[in-house]
Amino acid sequence: MTNLNQSNFQQLLNLEEFTLLDIGASGGVEKKWKKFESIIKIVGYEPDKMEYENLIQENISSKNIFINAALGEENIQSNLYITKKQQLSSLFKPDPIVVNKYVDPGRFDITDEITVNLTTVDESLELANITSIDFLKVDTQGSELNILKGSINTLRNIAGIEIEVEFNPIYQNQPIFSEIDTFIRGFGFELMDFEPAYYLRKENDKNYPSAGQIMFANAIYFPNDLYLQNRIDAKFLKKIIFISIIYKKYDYTMYLLTTFSELLTDETVNNIYQYLDSMKSPSTYLRRFINILKSITKNA
C-alpha cells in the first residue's frame, strides 16, 4: 500500500465524501490533491473570467463546482488588478518599491483593471447550497485575511487549512503572516508547516548560488488539541487522518491513532499502521542504524 492513490485509500479509511474549498483556483488543482480528484469534491473560486473558463474546460469530474466570483469580508465593489503573470493578479496593487528589488519585477506589471463585486465565502456557499467543507485552501495574493473574515461559519467546521501568507508585503496595504496567524489560531488551529518561497535580489546578476529572501509561504494549519477534543467523531477523525497523510505528517497521524483509536474499527487502525510501515524506506532504517552505532561509539 506504498503508493497512495484513490483505490487503496478507499480501502485504507473507507473515506466518505471529502470537499476541498479552493479559493484562488487559478492553475488548477495542486499535485498533492490531484491524485484524489476522483474521490474528493472540489469547490473552486476564481475571479478572473478567462482563468475560470479554463478551469471549467479542464474539469474532469461532474462533482466539482467552479464559481466565477471574487471573495472578501463583505459585499462591496472592488478593483481587481490583472498582472502580466496571471497568478499574481490581486485585489491589492503590487508595491513597486518592493517588487523592483527582486528578479523579474515585470511579472507584476498591471495589464488590466476591472471592477468586481465581492461576496463572502459563507454567503456564497449558502446560496450554492453547499453545506459541508472539509479543507480550506486560500491563495489570493494578499486578500487572504479579508476572505477569512468572511468565512466565520466555514472556519468553525473544517479539518485543516492551507493559506498563502506573506512575510514581507508584496502588495500595497496587504496583511502579512502575523495578522493571519493570530486570526486562524482563534478558531482552534495550530501551525503545522510552511512551504516557503524565496526571491532573489536583482543585483545577483552573476548568478551566485543564493538561497534568497523568504517572501511568502503556504502555511499549513491542523486542529489543536482543544479543537479535537470538542469536535472529534469517527467521520471527522478520518478526514484529519486523510489530510495528515497527504501532507506527510505521519507523527500527527500516529498522535491521532494513539489518542482516538477507540473511534475507529480495528481493521481501519491496522490498515493505517500498515500504510505507515510501508513508508519506512531502507534509508530510514540505515540512518537509525548509523545513529545507534554513533551512540555506542560515544558511550564506549
Span 32-59, pLDDT tens digits = 888 777 778 899 999 888 888 888 888 7
DSSP state of 192: E
Q: From its phi and psi, is residue 258 left (phi > 0), alpha (psi between -120 and 50) or beta?
A: alpha
Top-confidence range, 6-15, 17-26, 183-192: 183-192
Query: What pLDDT was estimated at residue 62?
Result: 79
Residue 2: the pLDDT is 47
Segment 240-297, tens digit of pLDDT: 999 999 999 999 999 999 999 899 888 888 888 888 887 776 555 455 555 555 555 5
Which residues, at least 6 apart from 99, have a Cβ–Cβ distance to it below 8 Å? 105, 108, 170
State the average pLDDT over residues 152-169: 95
- With cut-offs at 50, 70 and 90, classify the pLDDT of residue 207: confident
- Please state the rounded mean pLDDT for residues 155-183: 96
Grid coordinates given for 103: 528578479
First to last CA, the chain: 41
Say which residues have a Cβ less than 8 Å from residue 25's Cβ, sequence separation at least 6: 42, 44, 45, 46, 51, 55, 66
Q: What is the mean pLDDT of the chain?
A: 87
Q: Interhelix angle for 266-278 vs 6-13, to 10°?
A: 140
**CATH 3.40.50.150 applies to domain 6-299:** yes
Residue 156 sits at the vertex; the CA angle it makes with 245 and 190, to the nearest 5 degrees, is 50
**Mapping DSSP to helix (H, G, I), strand (E, B) and coil, where does residue 162 land?**
strand
On whether the CB atoms of residues 176 and 166 are closer than 8 A, the answer is yes
Q: What letter represents residue 217's amino acid? A: A
Q: Which residues pair with 194 in a beta bridge?
A: 219
Stretch 186-205: mean pLDDT: 92
The three three-digit cell numbers of residue 300, written as one number: 564506549
Burial 47-57 (b: 16+ CB within 10 A, else e): bbeebbebbee
pLDDT of residue 78: 94
Q: Are 25 and 45 in contact (CB under 8 A)?
A: yes
Q: What angle do CA 279, 283, 285 make, to 5 degrees?
A: 80
Least confident of 23-27, 34-38, 52-56, 185-189: 34-38
Does residue 1 carry a pLDDT above 50?
Answer: no
Predicted pLDDT at 63 = 85
Query: What is the predicted pLDDT for the residue at 109?
Result: 96
- Convert the pLDDT of each residue in 64-101 to its tens digit: 899 999 999 999 999 999 999 988 999 999 999 999 99
pLDDT band at 300, cuts 50/70/90?
A: very low
The percentage of the chain sitting over the pLDDT mark of 90, rounded to a whole number, equals: 61
Question: Lowest-pLDDT range, 32-41, 100-109, 150-159?
Answer: 32-41
The reported pTM is 0.87
Q: Residue 296 has what pLDDT?
A: 54
CA distance 120 to 126: 10
Q: 166 and 140 in contact (C-beta within 8 Å)?
A: no
